[in-house]
Structure 1
Amino acid sequence: MENNSKKTALHEKDGIPQPESISKTALDKVVRSRKTQPSAATLISGILSGDISALSRAITLVESTNLDHLMKANEIIAACLPHANQSLRIGITGVPGVGKSTFIEAFGKHLTAMGKKVAVLAVDPSSTISHGSILGDKTRMEELVKDKNAYIRPSASGETLGGVARKTRETIILCEAAGFDTIVIETVGVGQSETAVHSMVDFFLLLKISGAGDELQGIKRGIMEMADAIVINKADGDNVAKAKLAKTEFNRALHLFPAKTSGWIPKVTTCSAYEKTGIDAIWDLISEYSSLVKSNGYFGEKRQEQNQYWMMETINEQLKNHFYHHPEIIALLEQKKKAVQNDELSPFAAAMDLLGQYFK
């Protein structure tokens, strides 16, 4: 039977098939490269020459919990340490929704336009249920990620209290050795992350928004005492007047706190990361702070105190890990947990029993 159906104007003529969008040869080369584990010496050489691929692979080793990787990572960090400590470390925090990623992109682009090399270490929260993390900061900073003078490294917070990645401190050293002169650390913005970040940066910047009940929440002693500057973000459109009012309120609040040992008087300013206004004033403020603390010796003293702090934190972390991986503790732990759950033993007595067994 003859087919009388007519072809419509939307019919597409058969033509030459499209070639594969990805070259199989190139793909195989990438796969082989990733499977090959470069030596510590190769990674060290790559980092010191500014190779981003080598830097990324070294950071992955630093973040790994594999004991073999740990030894290799320690060798890399030791070799990079003499080439580090030449950057300005800036911590940025604020509640979720304050616009941290948008601000960092605008701020980072401003710095790279000045010829600076910027590394952004963004700590992403991990789920307590699935233990996964989105790591979407590169997606949010789509302009900065394409900048040849910028490097963005998102890391999962994991089980670290407060949401600061366990190896962020070591990652800073590697980035500095790779030639980055400005290190920006973005925190999750919740819990105790601010305290941890404050202990590894030179300048601590607190981002705020106005008109959301945020002014009163901001006048809290802990976070306000740590901040070297408060920036009211989203000062654009109808929000300009509210941002100016918030600036006045925060300025008043800052006068209630004692003077900082650095000799610096914290400043409050406004900006719009979306419209990229007020960003240059923030960098001028940070530069003014840096000049002051370097001239009065506070900069070096703070770095020395931070090094001691992280030595003690590492000891605490290693003791904790060793405790929970001790064969006898592993065998006793579940037994003690059940006794505590059934009210047969107090939590404190159970803890003392376990510690006594560990130190025996």
Structure 2
Amino acid sequence: MTKHKNHHTALHEKDGISRPESVSVTSIANITQLRKKQPTADELVKGILEHNKTALSRAITLVESTNPTHLEKAMAVINQCLPYANKSVRIGITGVPGVGKSTFIEAFGKHLTSLGRKVAVLAVDPSSSMSHGSILGDKTRMEELVKDENAYIRPSASGDTLGGVARKTREAIILCEACGFDTIIIETVGVGQSETAVHSMVDFFLLLKIAGAGDELQGIKRGIMEMADLIVINKADGDNIKKAKLAKTEFNRALHLFPAKSSGWQPKVSTCSAITHDGIADVWQVVNEYFEMVKDNHYFDAKRADQNRYWLTETINEQLKSSFYAREDITPLLEQYKKAVQNNELSPFAAAQFLLEKYFEK
């Protein structure tokens, strides 16, 4: 009689791995319970003022929430943090996809933390118009900066907001400032006609470019070029050094064609390599020169005041929009009038007028 050996197939499932003794069941239970517990507004503010990054992250999540029940609590957190805000420099960084924004920000951020500054990066990732999802991969791309104790990286989804910034980026800036970060960097989703809202919430606007992209004179968009306080030509290393220097010359010529800025600042062009870190220190030097000038001529404070007025109206617009679409009596009417408009039974303007009148009845 032949004995059959037991042969394991590729589908054979191995026994599970037992949990190491070093893992405390009690600790896991405590952490799980802590995550379920919702801190009060006062607890969040206390954590933020103590420079607790976990409290800061939870507060930003609360502020970004679209749940109407979270609005009051979020407002309480922001109002309590406001007296501790406005003590930073705010830098907006934009550029086409592939220009190396994340790599540049990591090199720039590491340089700033080496100088003793505390850096918060609010990175805005584009949301899909189909799935409405975002990758939020900036922490992965900035793997060195994310480990720096003097840095904080917060990726957020742009959602349906135009302007290349998340819906609540303005409030997130206030929370980061209250948490002790003296340099706020906002990375936008990219450059386009609607990617200029970041300019209305930062003090300094930096445009990243690459040499040889065929847009040295025209710029990506004239509006973006006019807003830029500094154009940085990235990837100026290896065989690209000569091209980068040529692009710098051409951009300098182009900038002189634009009207003078109300700040009195003449925009500059510099080159750098985020990989080798060549030119990164020069970028910070230009930023410092700008801030010295605009603080001396009081443009800095005037611009901040204008921005606050602008964001008052923007917040009103946002709240009205959210309130309109959240109304239960409006939703069925909206669907009904959408069909009527699609079937050419009613003009979009007449339908909108009726819905708004219905909204303001109560």
Output aligned runs, 1:346-357, within 5 Å. Answer: 346-357=347-358
For residue 327 of structure 1, report the CA deviation from its aligned partner.
Answer: 3.6
Task: Report the Cα offset of residue 23 of structure 1.
Answer: 4.4
Matched AA of 1:26? S
Which position in structure 2 is the counterpart of 1:67? 68
Change (3 A) 1:339 1:17: closer
1:261 maps onto 2:262 in alignment: yes
Aligned to 2:47: 46
Alignment deviations for residues 228-265 of structure 1 (CA, whole Å, 9 cap, x no partner):
00000000000011111111111011001111000100
Is the Cα–Cα contact under 8 Å of residues 192 and 221 in structure 2 kept in the other structure?
Answer: no
- Paired with 1:217 and 1:132, the residues of 2 have a C-alpha distance of 33
* Alignment pair present for 1:95 and 2:96: yes
Residue equivalent to 2:132:
131
CA distance in 1, matches of 2:339, 2:134: 32
Matched, 1:171 2:169: no
- What is the CA-CA distance between 1:20 and the residue it aligns to? 6.4
1:231 partner SS: strand
What pairs with 1:98-247 in structure 2 (closer than 5 Å)?
A: 98-192=99-193, 194-218=195-219, 220-247=221-248
CA positional deviation for 1:160: 1.1
TM-score by length of 2: 0.92
State the identity %.
73
1:305 matched residue in structure 2: 306
Shift of 1:32: 1.2
Q: Indicate if the aligned counterparts of 2:193 and 2:221 stay in contact, CA closer than 8 A.
A: no
Q: Which moved more, 1:193-202 or 1:102-111?
A: 193-202
Q: Are the structure 2 counterparts of residues 78 and 268 from structure 1 closer, same or farther at C-alpha, using a change threshold of 3 Å?
A: same
How many residues matched? 350
Q: Does structure 1 retain, via aligned residues, the 8 Å contact 2:164–2:196? A: no
Give 1:299's aligned amino acid.
F
**AA in 2 matched with 1:245:** L
Offset of residue 29 of structure 1: 2.3
- Measure how far apart 1:193 and its partner are: 5.3
**What runs of 5+ residues in structure 2 fail to find an aligned partner?**
7-16
Letter in 2 for 1:283: W
**What's the Cα RMSD here?**
2.0
Residue by residue, what CA displacement relative to the aligned partner does 1:26-74 show, whole Å, maximum 9, x if unpaired?
3322211110111111111110010111111111111111222211111
Q: Distance in 2 between matches of 1:40 and 1:140?
A: 32
In the other structure, the counterpart of 2:288 is 287
Deviation at 1:355, TM superposition (A): 2.3
Paired residue type of 2:167: R
Distance change (3 Å), C-alpha of 1:189 and 1:3: same
What secondary structure, in the 3-state scheme, does the structure 2 residue paired with 1:162 have?
Answer: coil
Whether the aligned pair in 2 keeps the contact of 1:162 and 1:190 (CA below 8 Å) is no
The answer for unaligned runs of 5 or more in structure 1 is 6-15
SS of structure 1 residue aligned to 2:208: strand
Give the SS at the match of 1:98. coil
What letter matches 2:29 in structure 1? D
Tell me: CA distance 1:209–1:39, structure 2 relative to 1, closer, same or farther (3 Å).
same
Partner SS, residue 38 of structure 1: coil
Greater mean deviation of Cα atoms: 160-169 or 180-189: 160-169
Contact 2:99 2:210 in 1 (8 A): yes
Q: How far is 1:298 from its partner? A: 0.3
How far apart are 1:357 and its partner, in Å?
2.6
Query: Structure 1 residues 356 and 68, CA, compared in 2 at 3 Å: closer, same or farther?
Result: closer
Does the CA-based 8 Å contact 1:262-1:298 persist in structure 2?
yes
Q: Measure the CA separation in 1 of the matches of 2:33 and 2:60.
A: 20
- Relative distance call for 1:251 and 1:158 in structure 2 (3 A) is same
Distance 1:42 1:350 in 2: 46
